[in-house]
Structures are given as C-alpha cells and as structure tokens.
Amino acid sequence: MGGAIPRTGASLGGAPLSLSRTPTAALADHIARFFVTIIERPADALLDDFLLHENAYVRVPVVGTWETLIDDRWVGYEGPMLFGAQERRFAVRCRGPIIAAGFMIRPSAWFSFCDESADQMADRLLPIGGDWGAALRWATQDIYDHEQTFARLEQVVLERVIVRATPTDPVSATFERDRARSIPSVPLLRSQRRSACRGGDSIAPCARISGICRRRCCAAVGSSIWQR
C-alpha cells in the first residue's frame, strides 16, 4: 500500500491497523467491538483487495470511493453498509484514503440490526438508509476525533437496540461462547469443517459442542460460512 499513512496505528511489520474499542456493559451482548480506521493515501491511489470476516458488521466509509465486485461487475457504494458474514473472498476496491468506522455484531444480536435472516445475508452487503443511516453518518462525521466517534457510535447503536427491542438469542449466544472456549483456532476450525462435515451440514460439530440446533445457528450466524 505505497504512499499510505496509517493514522490509527501499524503493526511491527508496517501493516495498517484499526483502533478498536470494546462496548460498555449495556451493549456487550450485542456488539463485539467498535472500530475506527484512518489510512491516508493519495486521492488517485487504488487498492484492489478483498474482505473475509466471519462476523457480520456495519461499516461507514467517510472518505474515498468504495466498490464491490458483483456478477463480474464493479458496483459503487456510498455511506453506511451492513455486511453479512463472509465465507468467500469478498472483492472490494477503494480509490483514495481509507477512512471508515463501524462495529462488529454478535451473532445473538443479529435481529437487532436486520430483519432478514443472517444466512440470507451471508456474502452480501446492504446499504443502510433512512433514520438509521442518518444516525450512523452523524456518529462518524468527525472521524478524526476518535473518542467522539466511539462515543457517538455507542450512543446511536444503543438507541437502535432500544427502539427495536429485540431480545438477543440465548441459543446463538451459547453457541458463540462455547465455540470460543472449545475451538482452538480459526484455521483449525475451518480444516475440521471441511474434512469432517460435508453436504451442507458443516455446522453440526459446533452445534453438538453447544447442544444447540443447526437452524437457530444458521439464522443468527449465517449458514454459508459453515458449508465450505
């Protein structure tokens, strides 16, 4: 990423990093973390890359032009977006600075943010408009003030959770907790999924660990991430 200046931190190897913030107790059952990413680059710089996240999340690009590859065609997006969980590489490209903020959604809280089931949203994104989109734009309008951005994101997300009044799913919460305790690593989990589980039933071993039903997990987590 030539010419990039990572304002929110960098690894020892120089790779740009995001700032992360855990939620307060009021949102701990809904949000895994909030993040702010600021990577300054020339206005004509083009990054052609991909995303791969096992959790759904909301991202609000503030500066730069973002596109995703859909049916072999680049499609531009602007403003807040809800990303479903991703099993396949999700091709994206960005021209100009990479400046965005957002939050990662816990599977048990999926329906606090979307009416469509998570398995239907897997490997997809959905632009966020209306009052919810406007609130997210307001929260991130002064993104260089990191503390204000985190505080405002927490505020608007909490308001969203209160308004929707959708209880978190205890079954999915148990699945998430037990997966973290029982599965040694993500690479090993992927290997086990692919070698031990075929025919679209690869969530079964994790479901057996937690003693929970596959359908409930797929609705909240996103079935496609377990099927390959």
**24-35 confidence digits (pLDDT tens):** 999 999 999 999
d(CA 137, CA 131): 10
**150-182 confidence digits (pLDDT tens):** 999 999 999 999 999 998 888 888 877 766 665
Domains and their CATH numbers in the chain: 5-164 (2.60.120), 170-226 (no CATH)
**Percent with pLDDT over 90 in the chain:** 39
Where residue 211 falls among pLDDT bands split at 50, 70, 90? very low
Tokens of 15: 């790779």
pTM: 0.76
pLDDT at 7: 81
**77-109 confidence digits (pLDDT tens):** 889 999 998 888 888 888 889 899 999 999 999
By three-state DSSP, how is residue 125 classified?
A: strand
The maximal CA–CA distance of the chain, rounded, in angstroms, is: 52
pLDDT at 149: 97
**121-152 confidence digits (pLDDT tens):** 888 889 999 999 999 999 999 999 999 999 99
pLDDT at 218: 52
By three-state DSSP, how is residue 227 classified?
A: coil
